[in-house]
Amino acid sequence: MSSTPPAPQPGDEPADLPAVYRLHPAVVARFVGAALVLLAVVMFAGTMVVAFANLTPDLLVLLLVVGIVAVFGLGWALRSRAYVVRCDEDGYRVRMVRGAGATQARWTEVQDAVTTTRAGAPCVVLRLRDGRSTTIPVGVLALDREQFVRELQRHLQRGQGLRPL
């Protein structure tokens, strides 16, 4: 007699936790572009210092190499390491969003989740029981807006102990 594992039941889907939602590539490109502009300003200032202080131009090459490595490092970190939203079984944490409000909370503290538009950008607002809220602009995330909302609803239901019907 062979024993077979029981068939999966609805709601038994594996918890892909922690779920990490990263920056959209266009947002990463904006950060890297700003870093390149900053590097250009630093190179200009460095050129002025080298010219007026009669220093060796090799310092400019060194400054440029260090700057380029820093820009590539920033791009790599933003693309592969930095995240905007991190959801685990206990709650969520929001980073890199100015004006997000409450940047972390437990799922049991969340009263409801609503979609809205703030400053022309679609957002998800998690309203907490104590009156605080967390605003997440979905345009900065590297996935589809509707997919993020569905996944956030699943995290919220699972975190509050609710099972799908």
Residue 115 is encoded by which pair of tokens?
């979609």
The pTM of this model reads 0.77
Domain 91-159 has CATH 1.10.510.10: no
Amino acid at 79: R
Task: List the pLDDT tens digit at each of the 165 positions of the chain.
Answer: 444 444 444 444 445 568 999 999 999 999 999 999 999 999 999 999 999 999 999 999 999 999 999 999 999 999 999 999 999 989 999 999 888 899 999 999 999 889 999 888 899 999 999 999 999 999 999 998 889 989 998 999 888 777 665
Specify the 3-state DSSP secondary structure of 124.
Answer: strand
Q: Where are the domains of the chain?
A: 25-80, 91-159
Is 8 exposed, middle or buried, given 0-12, 13-18 or 19+ CB atoms closer than 10 A? Answer: exposed
> From the CA atom positions of the chain, what is the Rg in Å?
23
